[in-house]
Chain A
Amino acid sequence: DAGVTQSPTHLIKTRGQQVTLRCSPKSGHDTVSWYQQALGQGPQFIFQYYEEEERQRGNFPDRFSGHQFPNYSSELNVNALLLGDSALYLCASKGTSGGAGKTQYFGPGTRLLVL
């Protein structure tokens, strides 16, 4: 059973460019969340997708957008990249059936470096 997968593993971009990161959830999971983890910090919630819609958003600007596909996979798009966007981007998935407090399972992350 494959866990959460993310691509690419590493990415280098320059300021002002746009980037797309991809995530496939764990089998049986239908909810995907994205987190940004800057160096030396804990993960910060960007947003969560369920049924192809953004369900909740953290304190991130509109430059950060996402999408969820019918197969539950997801993309994170960041426009007009800034140096401060350099971070590890983590995708997490969980199911919604069976009640509250479901565990999120994380992918290995995509490390983005903006020069």
Chain B
Amino acid sequence: AQSVAQPEDQVNVAEGNPLTVKCTYSVSGNPYLFWYVQYPNRGLQFLLKYITGDNLVKGSYGFEAEFNKSQTSFHLKKPSALVSDSALYFCAVRADTGGFKTIFGAGTRLFVKA
């Protein structure tokens, strides 16, 4: 069965500091991995994805994520946080073995303090 774990309910970081939002996954077969961001009363906005190839994936708004197969992780990172990055972040996984279901983590709330 597929699953996603986001071990931190909340991450606090000062503006200008690097940020990391953690994600680990479990899936049969090879994973397709995604990060989405959600602002209050809004739908989910796509940030980046890993399908195959380079383990370091670059996405929107300066975010990047590193796929680590041995640790089954896909942590989201940004070198320098902005106050406007404060939002709810979701990691998601879909298997490449023919299923169509995307499984989301419970989300991590990011607070960036000025």
Q: Which A residues lie at the B interface, using CB under 8 A?
A: 4, 33, 35, 40-45, 48, 50, 55-56, 58, 90, 92, 100-101, 103-109, 111
**Chain B residues near A90 (CB-CB < 8 A):** 43-44
What is the CA–CA distance of A92 and B94 in the complex, to the nearest angstrom?
14
Please give, as numbers and ranges, the residues of chain A lying within 8 Å of B45 by CB-CB distance: 106
* Segment at the interface with A among B11-19, B66-74, B101-109: B101-109
Supposing A101-B32, A103-B34 touch, asked if A42 and B96 sit within 8 A by C-beta, the answer is no
Question: Contacts A107-B43, A108-B42 hold; do A42 and B51 have CB atoms under 8 A apart?
Answer: no
| Complex-state Cα separation, A48 to B102, whole angstroms | 10
Closest Cβ neighbor of B96 among chain A residues: A100
Which residues of chain B have C-beta atoms less than 8 A from A103's C-beta?
Answer: 34, 46, 49
CB-based nearest A residue for B9: A40
Contacts of A107 in B (CB 8 A): 43
- B4 to chain A minimum Cβ distance, whole angstroms, is 8
- B interface residues (Cβ-Cβ under 8 A, vs A): 4, 32, 34, 36, 41-46, 49, 51-52, 90, 94, 96, 99-107
Q: How near does chain B come to A112, taking the closest CB pair, in angstroms?
A: 14
Given contacts A4-B43, A103-B49, A106-B44, 12 further A-B contacts (CB under 8 A): A42-B107, A43-B104, A44-B104, A48-B100, A56-B99, A56-B101, A90-B43, A101-B51, A104-B102, A106-B46, A108-B42, A111-B41
| Alpha-carbon gap, A104 to B42, bound state (A) | 16
The reply to whether A42 and B99 contact each other, CB–CB distance below 8 Å, is no
CB distance from B48 to the nearest CB of A (A): 9
Q: Are B104 and A101 in contact (CB under 8 A)?
A: no
Chain B residues closer than 8 Å to A40, beta-carbon distance: 106
